[in-house]
Amino acid sequence: MRLFVAVVPPPAVVGHLSAALERLRVRLESERLRWVPAASWHLTLAFLGEVDEARRPQLDERMGRAARRNQPGRLWLRGGGRFGGRVLWVGVEGERDTLVRTAGSAAAAARRSGIATEERPYRPHLTVARAREPVDLRAEVAALRDYQGPDWTTSEIALVRSRLGAGAGRAAAYDVLTTWTLGSAPSTRS
């Protein structure tokens, strides 16, 4: 199964950003982008890729330890940016150092469980749209420049399964498998 570890913003934050992006889509008529559904928004901490089910118990144990060693942090979404001409994202502000440490701990927990992770610097962001072919995203980035969402305190990290969409242009579906409270013990979702 394809897995990643993430922070999922609370409903008030998602609702605020969703309203702002709806205005942006109408104003820019950005039909050349595939907008990520709000229900799928998250801040990826560590992408784990394909993970054998047999690794889950050790991964869960180590991820729980990582969560207990990290503290909650106050964050808010602000501004926007792009990765090339294919990905439009909203930035993350606030206690970013806390988030970066948590991401490092999640990646280390995965590696200690025998799961390879990407070896690149962590850049906190929330992907809101993708393009099949490279496009000029300067207007979208400029439109997001003054966006600032409500603040929230990260309270947990989640292990999420990604099921790739069937057919061209279909979005992936995400299922939260387990959450761990930062500074505390795990809670499993059914």
- The tens digit of pLDDT for each residue in 74-93 reads 999 999 999 999 999 999 99
Residue 135, SS3?
coil
Tell me which DSSP letter residue 124 carries. Answer: -
Structural domain containing residue 8: 2-188
Cα–Cα separations (whole angstroms), residue 121 to 45, 57, 98, 114, 124: 11, 27, 14, 20, 10
At residue 190, the pLDDT reads 43
Cα–Cα separations (whole angstroms), residue 99 to 15, 92, 94, 102, 103: 22, 10, 9, 5, 6
* pLDDT, tens digit (0-9, with 9 covering 90-100), for 127-165: 999 998 999 999 999 999 999 999 999 999 999 999 876
Please check whether residue 98 is in contact with residue 71, taking contact to mean a CB–CB distance below 8 angstroms: yes
Query: Residue 39: which CATH number?
Result: 3.90.1140.10
At residue 135, the pLDDT reads 92
Average pLDDT over residues 22-46: 87
Q: For the chain, how many structural domains are there in total?
A: 1
What percentage of residues in the chain have a pLDDT greater than 70?
92
